[in-house]
Structure 1
Amino acid sequence: MPAERPQRLRAVLVAGRDPSSRLLEDLPPAWQGEIIGPEVDSWRERIESSRNIKINLAGVPDHLRVELAWMAHWQFRDGLRVSVSAFTLIASLITWALEHDRRVPDSMAEADWRDLCTLYKLRFEARHGRLPTADPDRLRPALGFPRLALTARLHEGHWWELDTWQPRCDPRIPQREREPRGAEGCSPGHAQIPWVREAIKWTLGTWLESGTLSWSTIIDRRVLALLRFDRWLSTLDDPTVVAGDPSQAGALAAAFRHWTSDPRNRSAAGNNIEGTSVRRINSDLTAVAEFMIFLLDNRPEGRQILGASPWDGLTEAHPAAWARQASRERQRQPQLVDEMHYVDDDTLVQITSCLPALGAVEGETVTASIRGREKALTGRGDPQAMRMLLLQILTGRRASEISLCDYDCLSPATGRALEAADGEEVARFRYSQTKIDQAPDTILVDAEVVAVIEEQQRWLAEQFLGVQPRYLFLQRKGNALGTKPYGRGKYGRALRQFSEAAQVTDSNGNPVRLSHTHRFRHTKLTRLAELGLPVHVLQRYAGHANPTMSMHYVARREEHAEQAFLATRKFKADGTDLAFSREDHDGMHLFDRADRFLPNGYCLLPPLQSCDKGNACLTCGVFVTDTTHQDTLKRQLAETTSLIERTTTQFQNRHGRPMPDDNVWLIQRVAERDALARLLTSMQSAPGRAVQGAGSPTGPTPVSIDLTRHRKTQP
């Protein structure tokens, strides 16, 4: 089947209805005349040229004049500078073409830059006898977003019938309140095969309207995958075989897998931007399978919308074969390692030392201290990117959650949160939860985070005078109303360029790409987990729907496993800290023996061994204690000595003779007294250290403990 050249713009107009009437309803009176400019508020501050200050639409047919005025007004409302010279030039080209019997577009929604460029060359040659040396690039701003917006406004059908989807220009496109890629558009109309193109637009549009997929998911995965599917079909002699004989579906899916595995086929231009991996290839196959399932499940409606098409031959065997092909080979999930997901302290010190250069005035020299050496960096003039990265490091939020957070994102901490702060300055930070519906969108932050946010708010007040910003981080250009957030693409480019200049390396000497900001989220959650934060609290802080995802973010660091085993803090029954050194914890190995805690110390008897000493622990060689029990032991020594004296005196008075030294009661009490004396003497000779077996006449008993058992995987 021959391929049809795709059209990026196509307006479907209702016959017999003048679209200009609808456009006029949108235009204020100051925008409806032949001359636009003098009566518009803030006009001089909102135009792109100080030389041409009026848009002259005299001589232009009424319907085209209204469309041009509407496009200029859209620029004004969008926060862009109005392209006065471009609209004036378009009007003059249309007027010249009418005077010289040249064809003019029926609507600006159908006007093409190349057609207007041809008119410009014809007029230039007629006036000067030669062709111009360059194309009129000043036309492009007027024929970009404004024309897309005009096309959407004139369109009477479903929004997904258009070939180009741009939420900025078409408010009919469903979006979540916080859409990370909401400012980006896509062009499913670039599909070359007509019956494939229409099916793709209908399927994706329905998924979006029903909430099956979000806009960001469609942009990230589905559109590009299905456009690759269309390009592959175009290479076949007969593309309709994809919905033909079901027995051939598996072979066709395998052929597509082989084709899409070639990096040269991953993009229409032949350059592999996103990279090739098993996961991406399987994602393409899954997208095609789900696409076929949708067409099968909605066959009656599809015949009404798409008409008769090769898709009528689809059976349940077709998507099943494509899905099986995707599941044949799966890429193993990479193990979480420090180099990939965790930023160590040394690297963080380098990053924070270099960050002032990112926010410094462009061209200014900033000196950073890296590993004790001075390094000169050139200012990049992007303080917003600097503060965004700082907030990501300090809070562990996603890049989209920072870039889309509201201007008024701080509120005072109240109630128990304020009481738990114990005098420290804390606030509640409301970020933009962009990924999980119904997930928390606030966390408590300290004074350092508050200072960064307040500094950004002061900067906005200086840069956007008289504007109440919607977002905390704003797009610098084309944003006079302060309604557009700092762009995701610009943020990534700024950090990539800064990484190349800063040359930050980790502890192993590997370069650190600051544009990979998600690793700061891994780092923050890993550190919180290493501080002993309960899993449910970590999940709440991360904003995850389940603890499994939170644990995925925690790097499994062997270094931390060692430190956690050695330095875990223990508490006494009264809630006070237990003063133990790391060596003492290693020696005690009490994790699996909570029943060995004694009133005035701890028992080091290895697991699975019983004790027959009763309460004679003071004289035992595996009994250990420390200075936290010193007062108790002193009191017990005084009481034991007093008990011995009182009891022996009573025995003397009752029997008329001293208590024998071999008396069973006296032997035990004297042993306890002597053991207590030896324990206290040992503590005084080794202050701050726990002592083992100091009360035993024979000294400490060696204890055999498997120090690696906690690292072994349980069967």
Structure 2
Amino acid sequence: MKAELALVPTEAAEEIRSERPDGRKTQDKRDPRLPIADLFSEERARQLWESLPDEHRQDHFDSSNMPDDYRRAFVEQVSNREKGWFSQAITFTGLPEPMIWELAWFVDQQVRDGYAINPARFNRLRRGLVLALEYGGPQARSAQSITALSNEQWAEEVRAAAVRTSLPSGENIATLVLHSVKHIQDRLAYAYHDGEWWRLNLWNPTLDRRIPQREHEPSGRHVANFAHLTTDWLREAVKWWLSVQLLTEQYVWSSVKSRMDTMKRFQWYIDQAGCTGPQLVSSPEQLRTWVRGFVDHLNSHSTLSGVNKGGKLAKNSRRSALVTVEAFYRWMYDNRAEAVSVLADPRWGRLDSTYSVLFRLDDKPRRTNQMPDDMALEDEVISQIAAGSGLLAAPKDEGGLDDRQAFHALMLLIRTGRRMNEVLMMDFDPLLPLATTGPKEGDDGAGFVARLKYQQTKITGGGPPTIPVDQEIVDIIRVQQEWAREFITSQGAPEGTEPPYLFLQTRQNRLGLRPYASATLHHRLGNLTKMLAITDSVGRPVAVSKTHTFRHTRATDLINAGVPIHVVMRYLGHLSPSMTMHYAKTLSTTAEREFLRYKKITVDGRTASIEPSDLYDMLHLDQRADRVLPNGWCMLPPRQVCAKGNACLTCDKFVTDASHRDELQHQLAQTEALITRRQTQFTARHGEPMGEENIWLAGRLTETRALAKVLIALEQIGVHDDGQLRAVRGAGVTDRPGSIPGQPKESIS
């Protein structure tokens, strides 16, 4: 019977580490909770064998029985250098039957996933296993499955057998067995494991297809290792929490790593401060002190990697850690009854409502979204990058990096403003026809000719992820498509096969099933940065590898070209204007130009007496959005506070222009309707209408008179405007010095 997968002690859950030849420690990403030998089941091995197509259930493959898909996947090896014989044959003969089943299933999985099979290496692996089975120790000689020994034990048995048989190549075969057996066992471990996938400490979506993922997942090859959480109750609860979030699509796979990083910080604090289980402390009175200690721990913690290595954690990182821990505990509190059953730990049932809000508002730093000044690149810098980008595609013997894919990807990043993964995970044929008619006769070709579909991997919701593109972008995509077709054909894919992605991983990707890795492109662009050594107008080095600057630059260019904000939102794939404005940096000259397009009118219906450029400076519209009103602007100096409530229409600091005409007319109609309604009610109650001395009516009549003056002035400007920008004082100036002819005008500072 197969042994049950049981919880292991904290010590066993720690990362397994081994010594490298250079003395450094390496992490073995084998899940310590997968006791591979205990997972073996002959019945399950037979099921794996029977799941294969008939032509794949063989103990050897050669020219007489090789399936077509295997023939294309098996790399031809020279068998006789003098005569030039080639062989694709492999054999599993001489091994126990369950081991043959396992190897046959493994080969089938490798071929399905687009990997190549090296017959020479595979036959040497088989030779090493047979050697250990025949001349190894008692444990090896009795083995029925590749899982019977660890990969290290198999390698040692091969070495010992080689010594006994005086095999000169024993060490080389042992090294091959060490690495190959581990890869085989990693696949078999998940195939043999039939428990709940989330209970494993190592989540590997490449090998465990039960883990939920999006169709296009940028982090699809990442592995989540929960062995970092060495506290049993925390580790099991976090795994359950994250698994439910994945299953319900509250989180995506790429979110798991960031949550894991946060919970590792929480684990570090538990190791430092200690705790009493899920409730953290023994009495409710101690909880605030314990929690505050975690906040102080984050505030004093130093970063271990990145550009800020050795410095303090950024505000956003600290806030994210607190928000994640609080979200975890809130969810555990809401599901505490189920947690007792699922995790077999009654302590979770003792959580009270205090744990749903662990941190106070002032514990969490305010989120900072201020972008550096160099996020939007200058035109000259973009030109230099484009001019030097050919080094990416140039051959290495000409001083280039010999990567045409990186060159094409950079061209698309610059021209479209997409995120890196949105380009690298693009469909093989991402072009769609325009929704509108194409370019007219005589068009110079600079217009849009197609729509480009990209993979929206960050934001869910909104419209379809497409943008209009010109002929230049279409040409780049066509050239990349041709390169991708040639590549997979050279790798052994059937003639006419089209890969799912436009940009392809170039190693072990025979069918093009895996996209070009973002880490590879980042490395290429880092090398290009060193080769070009570009600086901006103030001498700052420009990092081409910071691809998000191309997105900021594109957003800024669109805003400054006068493209409406809702169109820019749609182009960038954003869900709100605030997201777009976070990316776009509007030039001060553009903001001033747009403001000065309108003539400003005061509440008494006159043109503002100050120059519009001075008015713009006074209002600081690029910084003082709180001075923008629904029907105009407030000229109150930024340091002063308004004490008039909503009496803007009767305030001498109020100005407006023709862009607010509809709002002003709507406000006048509403006010007049309100006066009529109140007069009717007043007359019905008191037998006579309100007089103009009534304080409420007097205020409303003042508003209507002010609105009427403003609208009349706007109409007059529309008819008699001579195009000159003039300005006079704001509302209320008729009661102040300077408004009566002959009196000196009061200056505004």
Query: How far apart are residue 431 of structure 1 and its match?
Result: 1.2
Deviations along 1:286-320, one digit per CA (max 9) or x if unpaired, are 32222223322222332332213654554333453
Selected match of 2:404 from 383, 386, 405: 383
1:342-353 → structure 2 map (5 Å cutoff):
342-353=376-387
Partner of 1:226: 263
Query: How far apart are residue 274 of structure 1 and its match?
Result: 12
Q: Is the 8 A contact 2:96 2:144 kept in 1?
A: no
Selected match of 1:406 from 427, 432, 455: 427
Tell me how far apart the structure 2 counterparts of residues 248 and 53 of structure 1 sit (CA, whole Å). 69
1:362 aligns with 2:396: yes
1:71-220 → structure 2 map (5 Å cutoff):
71-99=106-134, 100-104=136-140, 107-108=145-146, 112-128=150-166, 136-139=174-177, 142-143=180-181, 146-219=184-257
Instruction: State the AA in 1 paired with 2:482.
Output: R
Partner of 2:343: 306
Tell me how far apart the structure 2 counterparts of residues 57 and 361 of structure 1 sit (CA, whole Å). 42
Tell me how far apart the structure 1 counterparts of residues 303 and 371 of structure 2 sit (CA, whole Å). 31
Tell me how far apart the structure 1 counterparts of residues 595 and 326 of structure 2 sit (CA, whole Å). 49
Do the aligned partners of residues 149 and 261 (structure 1) sit closer, same or farther apart at CA in structure 2, a change above 3 Å counting? farther
Partner of 2:737: none
Do the aligned partners of residues 426 and 586 (structure 1) sit closer, same or farther apart at CA in structure 2, a change above 3 Å counting? farther
Partner of 1:631: none
Deviations along 1:154-198, one digit per CA (max 9) or x if unpaired, are 222222122322222222211122322223222224433333332
Partner of 1:426: 449
Tell me how far apart the structure 1 counterparts of residues 175 and 127 of structure 2 sit (CA, whole Å). 16
Partner of 1:279: 316
Bigger radius of gyration, 1 or 2?
Answer: 1
Do the aligned partners of residues 83 and 195 (structure 1) sit closer, same or farther apart at CA in structure 2, a change above 3 Å counting? farther
Unaligned runs of at least 5 residues, structure 1: 365-377, 571-583, 611-702, 710-715
Instruction: State the AA in 2 paired with 1:102.
Output: P
Instruction: State the AA in 1 paired with 2:363.
Output: R
1:457-476 → structure 2 map (5 Å cutoff):
457-465=481-489, 466=495, 467-476=497-506
Deviates more, 1:103-112 or 1:248-257: 103-112
Deviations along 1:561-613, one digit per CA (max 9) or x if unpaired, are 356567x699xxxxxxxxxxxxx997999996554355583344423499xxx
Tell me how far apart the structure 2 counterparts of residues 500 and 294 of structure 1 sit (CA, whole Å). 47
Deviations along 1:435-475, one digit per CA (max 9) or x if unpaired, are 22232311111112112111211222332223312111111
Deviations along 1:463-510, one digit per CA (max 9) or x if unpaired, are 222331211111111111112111122122221222122212222211
Partner of 1:61: 96
Partner of 1:367: none
Partner of 2:57: 32
Instruction: State the AA in 1 paired with 2:456.
Output: Q
Tell me how far apart the structure 2 counterparts of residues 299 and 420 of structure 1 sit (CA, whole Å). 69
Tell me how far apart the structure 1 counterparts of residues 215 and 281 of structure 2 sit (CA, whole Å). 42
Partner of 1:452: 476
Do the aligned partners of residues 225 and 146 (structure 1) sit closer, same or farther apart at CA in structure 2, a change above 3 Å counting? farther
Unaligned runs of at least 5 residues, structure 2: 1-8, 15-29, 79-86, 490-494, 600-610, 617-631, 633-654, 659-713, 732-744
Deviations along 1:622-655, one digit per CA (max 9) or x if unpaired, are xxxxxxxxxxxxxxxxxxxxxxxxxxxxxxxxxx
State the identity as a percent: 28
Deviates more, 1:416-425 or 1:466-475: 416-425
Q: Is the 8 A contact 2:376 2:552 kept in 1?
A: yes
Deviations along 1:541-567, one digit per CA (max 9) or x if unpaired, are 11111111111111143354356567x
1:516-535 → structure 2 map (5 Å cutoff):
516-535=546-565
1:46 aligns with 2:73: yes
Do the aligned partners of residues 8 and 106 (structure 1) sit closer, same or farther apart at CA in structure 2, a change above 3 Å counting? farther
Deviates more, 1:187-196 or 1:345-354: 187-196
Tell me how far apart the structure 1 counterparts of residues 266 and 725 of structure 2 sit (CA, whole Å). 67
Query: How far apart are residue 353 of structure 1 and its match?
Result: 1.1
1:315 aligns with 2:359: no
Tell me how far apart the structure 2 counterparts of residues 260 and 109 of structure 1 sit (CA, whole Å). 43
Q: Report the secondary structure of 2:480's partner residue.
A: helix
Q: Report the secondary structure of 2:68's partner residue.
A: coil
Q: Is the 8 A contact 1:260 1:266 kept in 2?
A: no
Tell me how far apart the structure 1 counterparts of residues 406 and 325 of structure 2 sit (CA, whole Å). 38
1:287-306 → structure 2 map (5 Å cutoff):
287-306=324-343
Q: Is the 8 A contact 2:99 2:146 kept in 1?
A: yes
Tell me how far apart the structure 2 counterparts of residues 294 and 409 of structure 1 sit (CA, whole Å). 40
Tell me how far apart the structure 1 counterparts of residues 109 and 75 of structure 2 sit (CA, whole Å). 14
Partner of 2:723: 602
Instruction: State the AA in 2 paired with 1:349.
Output: S
Q: Is the 8 A contact 2:301 2:313 kept in 1?
A: yes
Selected match of 2:458 from 431, 435, 443: 435
Do the aligned partners of residues 207 and 429 (structure 1) sit closer, same or farther apart at CA in structure 2, a change above 3 Å counting? same
Give the TM-score taking structure 1 as reference length. 0.72
Tell me how far apart the structure 1 counterparts of residues 218 and 323 of structure 2 sit (CA, whole Å). 23
Partner of 1:489: 519
Deviates more, 1:395-404 or 1:80-89: 80-89
Q: Report the secondary structure of 2:467's partner residue.
A: strand
Tell me how far apart the structure 2 counterparts of residues 705 and 459 of structure 1 sit (CA, whole Å). 70
Tell me how far apart the structure 2 counterparts of residues 69 and 403 of structure 1 sit (CA, whole Å). 34
Q: Report the secondary structure of 1:252's partner residue.
A: helix
1:506 aligns with 2:530: no
Q: Report the secondary structure of 2:486's partner residue.
A: helix
Do the aligned partners of residues 255 and 608 (structure 1) sit closer, same or farther apart at CA in structure 2, a change above 3 Å counting? closer
Do the aligned partners of residues 32 and 210 (structure 1) sit closer, same or farther apart at CA in structure 2, a change above 3 Å counting? same
Do the aligned partners of residues 72 and 222 (structure 1) sit closer, same or farther apart at CA in structure 2, a change above 3 Å counting? same
Partner of 2:570: 540
Tell me how far apart the structure 2 counterparts of residues 121 and 705 of structure 1 sit (CA, whole Å). 97
Query: How far apart are residue 29 of structure 1 and its match?
Result: 3.2
Do the aligned partners of residues 481 and 705 (structure 1) sit closer, same or farther apart at CA in structure 2, a change above 3 Å counting? farther
Instruction: State the AA in 1 paired with 2:339.
Output: G
Tell me how far apart the structure 2 counterparts of residues 482 and 133 of structure 1 sit (CA, whole Å). 35
Deviations along 1:661-713, one digit per CA (max 9) or x if unpaired, are xxxxxxxxxxxxxxxxxxxxxxxxxxxxxxxxxxxxxxxxxx9999xx9xxxx
Instruction: State the AA in 2 paired with 1:350.
Output: Q
Do the aligned partners of residues 171 and 244 (structure 1) sit closer, same or farther apart at CA in structure 2, a change above 3 Å counting? same
Query: How far apart are residue 250 of structure 1 and its match?
Result: 3.4
Tell me how far apart the structure 2 counterparts of residues 207 and 163 of structure 1 sit (CA, whole Å). 17
Do the aligned partners of residues 196 and 409 (structure 1) sit closer, same or farther apart at CA in structure 2, a change above 3 Å counting? same
